[in-house]
Chains A and B, each alone.
Chain A
Amino acid sequence: MAMFMQQQTDDSSFKKNMLFRGQQDQSSALPSVGFVPAKSPTTHTQYPYVTGSSVLGIKYKDGVLIAADCGGSYGSTLRYKSVERLKAVGKSTVIGASGEISDFQQIMRYLDELTLKDKMWDDGNTLGPKEVHNYLCRVMYNHRNKFDPLWNTLILGGVKNGVKYLGMVSMIGVHFEENHVASGFGNHLARPIFRDEWKEDLSLEEGILLLEKCFRVLLYRDRSAVNKLQVANITAEGITISKPYALRTEWEYKAFQNPTQGVEGSW
């Protein structure tokens, strides 16, 4: 029985704490025993390895639509083509992530813990998109302050109590709400189209067509885009995330057939 009273002085759990606690609070993982162990090295900004590209989000009449492709790039290689970058959080929010996939998977673990604890309160209230957004803002900003960012840009959308919500958090903690958001290349290619064509009270069909229009541009002009996407629809009734599907693209222009005829060596 006395064995159970020992805290972190036995070898196996000490090792476990050191290995699994990672960057956070290395000093507090060390037991206060007779020896003085070496201080763990502090870690700084890392590099992304497996990354997701753009995420697009728009508000429409009945709720929010978010779209992301299923690609996980490894540098310039399109290595994984079935990565789910849209996940539901609770009953009223969807999160889409671009950037390092392992950090997104970790964020989902934090959110799963958050929603579980919320459910355990059993008080009839569930965390809405605003609360989830705020939680993630603090997580991302605090990581940034420790020079250990979660290398993601997160798009959050949801509907609670009839109020539509769409926002974004970046890896440095910049966050805002808008009627239309995008991450990565989407900011440069999709948002100008949104600015021109988005209007209040888009129907579901108009919203999907607008997202697909922008996604097609990304397919043409973003080298890390992959032609396999999912669209999430959040309304007061709930969340649906579509199965992955692919879009047709247009290449049959006469101008594409022999573009360098008469101007050999041109591109």
Chain B
Amino acid sequence: MALQYDGGVILGADSRTSTGAYVANRASDKITCLTDYVYLCRSGSAADSQIISDYVRYFLNQHTIQLGRPATVKTAATLVRELSYQNKSFLEAGLIVGGWDKYDGGSIYAIPLGGTALKLPFATGGSGSSYLYGFLDQAWKEGMSKEEAEALVVKAVSLAMARDSGSGGVVRTVVINEQGVTRNFYAGDKLPLWHEEIPRQNSLLETFTEAEPMRT
């Protein structure tokens, strides 16, 4: 998901890549760099989203050299959209472009299946996003600070991980603003516990004495 705050954007994602029921990669990085100030959240087919990001990174690299200035988020989004739309019958990739440029500040473009491009204050995608519609309808508000926004992203992604089998692992966030890009990593104890989840321990042996006595 991606969320706009006063000054930039926060991009967040889980780290699970699966082939059927098997978790092929439990520590994936789904937030991919397109330029110094524009990143891409990938979902859907890993191959499709990776190849799109590779092409767009390549084109933006050329474009930046020719333009003489950093590329805008809109330009990156337009390239992603063009590839998604023109090849819609071959691709299965839900993408979110988020970044900062000096003309529009922080911007987020959602590019779901089919290649529709929508500029939004926040966007979600992937299988876990189904569980976030209600949550974000209630919890999102305009004009959040950087800390509030990042906390909301971590909370949302971790809620999705709690209920979606296609999501799991760690939460990665990327904060993009005028000052630059910061990557953060939230795992294990740093993530909140939700309903029916219990605190983790190393072994039963840690709490052996508290075991219930056997009854006949």
Give residues in A with beta carbon < 8 Å to B.
Answer: 12, 15-16, 19-23, 43-44, 46, 48-50, 72, 74, 77, 79-80, 82-83, 100-102, 105-106
Contact = CB atoms under 8 A, between A and B. Distances in A.
Given A12-B62, A43-B89, A77-B133, A50 B83 contact: no
Contacts of B112: 49-50, 74, 79
Interface string B107-122: 0001011111110100
Contacts of A106: 85
Contacts of A43: 89
Given A19-B55, A74-B112, A46 B117 contact: no
B163 to A, nearest CB: 16
B89 A72 contact: no
A19 B86 contact: yes
Instruction: Determine chain A's interface SS by DSSP, over half rule.
Output: mixed
21 contacts: A12-B62, A16-B59, A19-B55, A19-B83, A20-B82, A20-B83, A22-B87, A46-B88, A49-B112, A49-B114, A50-B113, A50-B114, A72-B116, A74-B112, A77-B133, A79-B112, A83-B118, A102-B88, A105-B85, A105-B117, A106-B85
A20 B86 contact: yes
Q: For B59, B82, B110, B118, which residue has the most chain A Cβ atoms within 10 angstroms?
A: B118
B66 to A, nearest CB: 12
A23 B86 contact: yes
A80 B118 CA distance: 9
A101 B116 CA distance: 6
Q: Which of A15, A49, A82 has the most CB of B within 10 A?
A: A49
B114 A100 contact: yes
A102 B115 contact: yes
Interface of B: 55, 59, 62, 82-83, 85-89, 110, 112-118, 120, 130, 133
A82 B116 CA distance: 13
Contacts of A21: 86
A181 to B, nearest CB: 24
B39 to A, nearest CB: 21
B14 to A, nearest CB: 20
A44 B82 CA distance: 19
Contacts of A23: 86, 89
Nearest to B113: A49
Pick from A16, A19, A102 the residue with the most CB of B within 10 Å: A102
Contacts of B116: 49-50, 72, 100-102, 105
A19 B114 contact: no
Q: Nearest 6 A-B pairs (CB), nearest first?
A: A22-B86, A49-B114, A102-B116, A102-B115, A101-B116, A49-B113
Given A19-B82, A105-B117, 11 more contacts: A15-B55, A19-B86, A19-B87, A22-B86, A43-B89, A46-B89, A50-B112, A100-B116, A101-B114, A102-B114, A105-B116
A108 B204 CA distance: 63
B4 to A, nearest CB: 14
Nearest to A16: B59
Max chain B Cβ within 10 angstroms of own Cβ: one of A16, A20, A100: A20
Contacts of B59: 16
A213 B210 CA distance: 67
A24 to B, nearest CB: 9
A163 to B, nearest CB: 34
A23 to B, nearest CB: 7
Contacts of A16: 59
A228 to B, nearest CB: 14
A79 B62 CA distance: 35
Contact of B118 (A46, A48, A49, A72): A72
Contacts of B83: 19-20
A48 B115 CA distance: 11
Contacts of B55: 15, 19
Nearest to B86: A22
Contacts of B133: 77, 79
Contacts of A44: 89
Contacts of A101: 114, 116
A167 to B, nearest CB: 25
A105 B88 CA distance: 14
A20 B85 CA distance: 9
Contacts of B86: 19-23
A22 B85 contact: yes
